[in-house]
Chains A and B, each alone.
Chain A
Amino acid sequence: AQSVTQLDSQVPVFEEAPVELRCNYSSSVSVYLFWYVQYPNQGLQLLLKYLSGSTLVKGINGFEAEFNKSQTSFHLRKPSVHISDTAEYFCAAVDFGNEKLTFGTGTRLTIIP
């Protein structure tokens, strides 16, 4: 069964500094990978997804992620964060073998002015 691990539960970052949120997945089959963001008191919305092709994927709000098959990772990055990026970020995956969308435990990103 697919599992998704987010290694950091909380990440504090100074405003305008770069950030990386880590995600690893475990699967013996190919997967589709996603990053979702949840702003305070809101539902989740899609930031970006990796299906195939280029391993560097660009998303909304200046975020990007890199798929690394050998390390089974899909880390999310932003070169310069803003106060408005304060949110919880979830990595998710779908196995080719089933329909389930499985989420990690989330990383709470706090931006320090």
Chain B
Amino acid sequence: DVKVTQSSRYLVKRTGEKVFLECVQDMDHENMFWYRQDPGLGLRLIYFSYDVKMKEKGDIPEGYSVSREKKERFSLILESASTNQTSMYLCASRMGGRDTEAFFGQGTRLTVV
């Protein structure tokens, strides 16, 4: 079975801190994604990566950056956390190809205080 693992299930950070959310997949997938999930807004794409060191902005990249130095790991970085970044963050991966299934991690619930 494909496994997508997010490093933390729950995280509490202070305003202004630099925050790292880590995601690791074990199936050699080319594509990886970061979404945030908010009630009534569904999943909104922050960034995605279609290969190592390759990244593209999603629909809401402001305030975020990403890093993909190795194929299995995709990190989301909040440069200076703010309270409006309190949310559920979901990582996903899939094989290269638009028709393939995306596999999701369990999510990280981030609270910024």
Task: Assess the B105–A43 pair: CB atoms within 8 A.
Answer: yes
Task: Say whether A25 faces chain B, with CB atoms less than 8 Å apart.
Answer: no
Interface majority SS (helix, strand, loop, mixed), chain B: strand
The SS class assigned to the A binding surface is strand
A102: interface (CB < 8 Å): yes
Partner of A49, one of B31, B43, B101: B101
Chain B, Cβ-Cβ closest to A3? B59
User: Is B74 part of the contact surface with A, judged by Cβ < 8 Å?
Assistant: no
B52 within 8 A of A: no
- A51 in contact with B105 (CB, 8 Å): no
A50 nearest CB neighbor, chain B only: B99
Interface size on A, residues (CB 8 A): 24
Q: Which residue of B lies closest to A4 (CB)?
A: B42
Report the stretch among B14-22, B33-41, B63-71 that lies at the interface.
B33-41
* Any B CB within 8 A of the CB of A103: yes
In the bound assembly, the distance between CA atoms of A42 and B35 in angstroms comes to 15
> Binary interface profile of B, 45-57, with partner A (CB < 8 Å = 1, else 0)?
1001010000010
- The minimal Cβ–Cβ distance linking B42 to chain A, given in whole angstroms, is 4
Asked whether A105 lies within 8 Å of B107 as measured between CB atoms, the reply is: no
Q: Which residues in A have their C-beta under 8 angstroms from that of B90?
A: 43-44
What would 18 A/B residue contacts be, using CB atoms closer than 8 Å?
A: A6-B42, A9-B40, A32-B99, A34-B101, A36-B104, A42-B106, A43-B4, A43-B90, A44-B102, A99-B56, A99-B98, A100-B48, A101-B48, A103-B35, A103-B43, A105-B40, A106-B42, A106-B43
Give B contacts to A, CB under 8 Å: 4, 31, 33, 35, 40-45, 48, 50, 56, 58-59, 90, 92, 94, 98-99, 101-102, 104-107
Closest 8 pairs between A and B when the two form their complex, measured CB to CB: A105-B42, A43-B104, A103-B43, A94-B98, A44-B104, A46-B101, A106-B42, A43-B106
